[in-house]
Amino acid sequence: MTLLRRASVRHLWVHRWQTGLAILGVGLGVAVVLAVDLAVSSARVGFTLSAETVAGRSTHRAEAGPAGLDDGAYRRLRSVAGVTAAAPVVEGEVVARGPGGPAVLRVLGVDPFAEAPFRRYSGDRDDRRHASVLIGDRTTLLTSSTAAVLALDGGDWLGVEVAGRRDSVRVAGLLDPADEASRLGLENLLVMDVGTAQAVLGRRGLDRVDLILESDAAVADAAAALGPGGTIVVAGAAAGALQDMTRAFDLNLRALSMLALIFGVFLIYNSVTFSVVQRRRLLGTLRALGASRRQVFGLVLGEAAILGLVGAALGLILGLALGSGLLRLVTRTIEDLYFVVTVRELVISPATLAAAAALGIVGTLAAAAPPAFEAAMTEPRAALLRSELEAGLRRRLPLLSLAGLTLAAVGMLVLVVATGVETSFVGLFGVILGAALLTPQVTVLLMRLLRPAAGAVLGVLGRMAASGVAASMSRTGPAIATLTVAVAVTIGIGIMIGSFRRSLVDWLDITLSADVYISAVRPAGALTSTLDLRAVAVLGDDPAVAEVRRYREVTVPTPAGPVDLMGISIDSRLRDHFTFLDGDVAELWEPFVEGSVLLVSEPFAHHRRTQVGDTLTLQTERGPESLPIAGVFRDYGSDRGLVMISYSGYRERWDDPTVTTMALILEPGADRDEVINRLQAATAGIQPLNIRSNHRLAEVSLSVFDQTFAITQVLRFLALIVAFVGVLSALMALQFERVRELGVLRANGLTPGQVWTMVASQTGIMGLAAGMMALPLGLGLGVLMIEFVNRRSFGWSIDMSAPPDLILQAMALALTAALLAGLYPAWRMARTSPAEALRGE
């Protein structure tokens, strides 16, 4: 190690508090990015692997609407000349009850004889034996790890429950997949014979037939063999579509995590700038002794590299720990909103780790480059006055502000012009960074305003504190900027979530028009569940029930991919409970009731870029049918979007008596709770049901909403912590730098208490300034997130509402963060004896 390097390492050690905070900042930033990346990609890998496992090596798949394919479709497809291989599949979810407790597992019903070209379970030869243990028997195969969770062994019986029907299957064997990917893919899967799967799931027909097709001609022939109800789709398209669903969600999480890293980088900038300013004389001496500019640049950047490396290493450790925690939240949210994810552990790839570490190190170096450059430009004079530095900064302030304005303007432009979610975030980040660059100028102006006020309250100490903030802009600037942005983002996200929630509440109020809603108990994590038809009959028979509405929600193939279709019983009362964003409300009901037009939800119209007047081609059991879209309604039920058809229109096209949800309108004067209890008792023997009043359903919906945004809140909090560390670090730097000044003041009779007052008032003023700037910025960010980011991500329009308490909270947050951050420096300053302080370095 050269002497220069040695000197710089010792410098880091001497200022270990500062060093530690900088490392912590980078570490936290990297950790949050890594954790989110790991959680999101693990959930995704889990989903992809299971999707690939169940899709196998098929090139195409034959599928039909809700009723599925008839059993004979498989035989017909096999006899088509270009069909190289075909395999029938029945899928579903069951609640499995093993000694280890209940778990929601996915049933994969297959014909073992047809599986070889498609899926691998264990070894080749092992797979061949599956036929003899699965076909015709109440048996299942599952991986050893899934069996371990259920505390099962080969030969044990496993209880399975579907839509209230109980059954049991015997574990015929444990799968021992050849590789890790197969193992993950087979996690949480009950592999059964197709017949057993039908019996367990209580259904007939096939969900799909996986195909390996040789040519386009074969696709056409297969479609012909399938008949009008079915379609041949390219395999993998479905998995891709499902992945697309969570893309916006993933992106939002990643963007939030990037924010934490940006705060971390701010912190590095802060810390390195401080170390340069603090060592101006030393750097000048070095230059006088003959150190070249490159050597000085390298010295400073080298220190930053050490911070970055150690910080990144810390970040990897923290990130891995944090990742498992976030994974639960992410998968929970994905399951609430999208689909079942079978993943229990983080999938850690070296590439992910390397990317997160590289991001931290590169960010650190980038942040350290400007101060390092400044250090290199240090004139080799022994001393440069601090005031000169600040004067230089003040001279550059207009330039900085201009850059900030430009950046913010470009960001706005990108936001407005952009259509994609990614570009929207780029624009938003531009606005945030631009605003951050503007904060020093605004701070200077604010200090001019605050100085008399502070003077009035705290006298000369207050005035000194206020002018100290403006005079040490090189120190206070980044700290205030970081705090401002962090608080603003908090306000912005708060406004976004709050407005969203408010809109949801309003929507639920309008939408939940019936008195009682009934759905089957959806096992945690399961995608769908349907009502037992016996229960449907019992429910409709209750004397207190005036009217019954049935809803059937299914996924239907279209040429543009699958859509969620809801058949809905419609009556005059229900009409008032739609809010239309597009379409002629007076004219659309009649044809809708007839079943000749469709209504689509706002996210559907947004994602599919459809509007009133367009048509949508649905694959019905009678073949493809094009129906016009007559209206676009507001709906927060699904960000994928929903297509509505009248229930009778649905039944005309699909021979599917199943009901997903029921709504009951009670006779006037009926006691709602009494009716619910009665219905609960009447259906107890048939199927466990959620029978809820409209109020209760609204509550449940809101709790799901809150759960969904739990991860957002966590990330927001983490970003705030990083910002707090940044402010703490900046304030400490500032106060330690003023050791001599404070020493002089102490020598001249300032009491320790007055030191406290002064330091606290200075940090308080900084917090106040940050809060004052964060407020408009936060409101603006809230608007931008609602109008652009959220809309582009999910397609929902939200009515903006900014609760005043949120604004107060934000101010309090800024002040508290600043004051907390000032505590330790104030304590240190007050404790330091004037003599020691005066001795200087």
Partner 1 sequence: MSTIARTGSKARVGPRARGRFAAPHLGLGLGLLAAVSACQDTGPARATLSVTEILADADTVGFARADRPRVFEFPADHGPHPEFRHEWWYYTGNLRARDGRAFGFQLTFFRNALRPGASSVESDWATNQAFMAHFALTDVVAGRFFAFERFDRGAVGLAGARAEPFQVHVSDWVVESVWDHEAGRPVPPVRLRAAQDGVVLDLVLESAKPPVLQGDEGLSQKGPEPGNASYYYSLTRLAARGAVAVQDEPVEVEGWAWLDREWGTSALGPELEGWDWFSIQLDDLTELMVYRLRRHDGETDPLSRGSFVHADGTTVGLGADDLVLVATGRWRSPRGGTYPSAWLLQVPRLDLELRVQPVLADQEVDLSFRYWEGAVTVTGRRGAEPVAGHGYVELTGYAEADLAAGGSDSSSSSPSTGRPRNRTAR
Partner 2 sequence: MIELAGLTKAYVDAGGERVVFRDLDLWAADGEIVVLLGPSGSGKTTLLNLVSGIDLPTAGAVRVGGVALTALNERERTLFRRDQIGFVFQFFNLIPTLTVEENLLLPLELSGRDTAAARRRALSLLAEVGLVDRAGEYPDRLSGGEQQRVAVVRALSHDPAVVLADEPTGNLDRDTGRSILALLERLARGAGKTLLIVTHSEEAVSMADRVLVLRDGKLSTP
With binding defined as CB under 8 A, does residue 413 bind partner 2? no
Answer for the pair 538, 682: CB distance below 8 angstroms, yes or no.
Answer: yes
- For residue 688, state whether it binds partner 2 (rule: CB under 8 A): no
Q: Which of 123, 228, 613, 776 binds partner 1 (CB under 8 A)?
A: 123
Q: Supply the minimum distance, in Å, between the C-beta of residue 13 and partner 2.
A: 8
Task: Work out whether 282 is an interface residue with partner 2 (CB under 8 A).
Answer: yes
Residue 466: contacted member of partner 2, partner 1, none (CB under 5 to 8 Å, by partner type): none
Angstrom distance (rounded) from CA 787 to CA 264: 28
Helices (H), 207-292: 216-226, 237-278, 280-288
Tell me the C-alpha to C-alpha distance, in Å, between residue 276 and each of 304, 370, 432, 745. 11, 10, 26, 25
Least distance in angstroms from the C-beta of 441 to partner 2: 20
CB under 5 to 8 A by kind: which of partner 2, partner 1, none does 8 bind? partner 2
Q: What DSSP string describes 304-337?
A: HHHHHHHHHHHHHHHHHHHHHHHHHHHHHHHHHH
Interface with partner 2 (CB under 8 A), residue from 236, 380, 423, 531: 380
3-state DSSP assignment of residue 71: coil
For strands 661-666 and 643-646, give the pairing. Answer: unpaired
What minimum distance in Å lies between the beta carbon of 90 and partner 1? 9
**Considering only residues 74-113, where is the footprint of partner 1 by CB under 8 A?**
74-75, 78-79, 84-85, 111, 113
Task: Choose, by CB under 8 A, the member of 73, 235, 256, 286 that binds partner 2.
Answer: 286
Pick 281 or 678: Cβ nearer partner 2: 281
> In this chain, which of 215, 292, 626, 703 binds partner 2, going by CB under 8 A?
292
Q: Which amino acid is at 447?
A: M
Say whether residue 379 binds partner 1 (CB under 8 A). Answer: no
Residue 172 makes contact with partner 1 by CB under 8 A: yes
Nearer to partner 1, 133 or 802 (CB): 133
End-to-end Cα separation, the chain, in angstroms: 24
Q: Does residue 135 belong to the site contacting partner 1 (CB under 8 A)?
A: yes
User: Which one, 70 or 390, has the nearer CB to partner 1?
Assistant: 70
716 binds partner 2 (CB under 8 A): no
Q: Are 402 and 304 in contact (CB under 8 A)?
A: no
Looking at the Cβ atoms of 12 and 612, the one nearer to partner 2 is 12
Provide the minimum distance between the beta carbon of 164 and partner 1 in the complex, in angstroms, as a whole number.
17
Stretch that binds partner 1, among 192-200, 433-441, 648-656, 698-706 (CB under 8 A): 192-200
Other Cβ atoms closer than 10 A to 692: 17
**The one segment of 1-9, 251-259, 267-275, 570-578 that binds partner 2 by CB under 8 A:** 1-9
* Touching partner 1, residues 48-77 (CB under 8 A): 71-72, 74-75
Continuous H helices in 101-236: 112-115, 124-134, 144-150, 180-186, 194-201, 216-226
Paired residues of 678 in beta bridges: none
| 501, interface contact from partner 2, partner 1, none, CB < 5-8 Å by kind | none
Residue 835 lies near partner 2 (rule: CB under 8 A): no
Check binding of 472 to partner 2 (CB under 8 A).
no
Beta bridge partners of 191: 108, 141
Q: Which does 295 bind (CB under 5 to 8 A by kind): partner 1, partner 2, none?
A: partner 2
Instruction: Pick the closer one to partner 1 by CB: 124 or 587.
Output: 124
The residue among 289 and 681 lying less far from partner 2, judged by its C-beta, is 289
Would you tell me the crossing angle of helices 280-288 and 237-278 to the nearest 10 degrees? Answer: 70
According to the binding rule CB under 8 A, does residue 119 interact with partner 1? no
**Is 10 among the residues that bind partner 2 (CB under 8 A)?**
yes
Identified binder of partner 1 from the candidate list 1, 3, 13, 125, rule CB under 8 A: 125
Among 6, 16, 132, 452, which residue interacts with partner 1 (rule: CB under 8 A)?
A: 132
The answer to whether residue 381 forms part of the interface with partner 2 (CB under 8 A) is yes
Cβ 100 vs Cβ 85: under 8 Å: no
Q: Which of partner 2, partner 1, none has residue 133 at its interface (CB below 5 to 8 Å by kind)?
A: partner 1
Round to whole Å and give the CA distance between 524 and 564: 21
Neighbours of 236 (CB within 10 A): 15
SS3 content of the chain, % helix, strand, coil (to 5): 65, 15, 20
Closer CB to partner 1, residue 194 or residue 548?
194
Per rule CB under 8 A, is residue 193 in the interface with partner 1? yes
Q: Which does 71 bind (CB under 5 to 8 A by kind): partner 1, partner 2, none?
A: partner 1
Q: Is 61 in the site for partner 2 (CB under 8 A)?
A: no
CA dihedral 328, 795, 699, 545 (to 10 degrees): -120
Asked if 285 is part of the footprint of partner 2 (rule: CB under 8 A), the reply reads: yes
* Position among 7, 174, 400, 682 found at the interface with partner 2 (CB under 8 A): 7
Instruction: Count other Cβ atoms within 10 Å, centred on residue 452.
Output: 12
Long-range contacts of 100-104 (CB under 8 A, 24+ apart): 100/148, 100/149, 100/150, 100/151, 100/152, 101/150, 101/151, 102/523, 103/149, 103/150, 103/188, 104/188, 104/340, 104/523, 104/524, 104/525, 104/526
| Interface with partner 2 (CB under 8 A), residue from 59, 223, 258, 281 | 281
CA distance 748 to 623: 93
Distances (CA, A) of 616 to 67, 465, 565, 613, 639: 20, 67, 11, 10, 19
Total residues contacting partner 2 by CB under 8 A comes to: 27
Q: How many CB atoms lie within 10 A of CB 617?
A: 13
| Sole window of 95-103, 124-132, 295-303, 739-747 interacting with partner 1 (rule: CB under 8 A) | 124-132
Binds partner 1 by CB under 8 A, chosen from 126, 335, 614, 656: 126
**Does 173 sit near partner 1 (CB under 8 A)?**
yes
Q: Which is nearer to partner 1, 52 or 111 (CB)?
A: 111
Task: Note whether 208 binds partner 1 by CB under 8 A.
Answer: no
Stretch that binds partner 2, among 170-178, 211-219, 286-294, 721-729 (CB under 8 A): 286-294
Cite the DSSP H helix spans in 79-186.
112-115, 124-134, 144-150, 180-186
CA angle 823, 828, 830 (to 5 degrees): 95
Residue 157 sits in the site that holds partner 1 (CB under 8 A) = no
Q: Cβ neighbours of residue 152 under 8 Å, at least 6 residues apart?
A: 98, 99, 100, 142, 158, 171
Q: Which of 11, 97, 128, 165 binds partner 1 (CB under 8 A)?
A: 128
Residue 384 binds partner 2 (CB under 8 A): no
Look at the alpha carbons of 353, 357, 360, 366 in this order and tell me if their dihedral is positive or negative: negative
DSSP structural state of residue 521: P
130 binds partner 1 (CB under 8 A): yes
- DSSP class of residue 523 equals P
Q: Which residues sit at the interface with partner 2, rule CB under 8 A?
A: 2-4, 6-8, 10-11, 14, 281-282, 285-293, 295, 379-383, 841
Q: Which residues sit at the interface with partner 1, rule CB under 8 A?
A: 71-72, 74-75, 78-79, 84-85, 111, 113, 123-126, 128-133, 135-138, 153-155, 172-174, 193-196, 198-199, 204
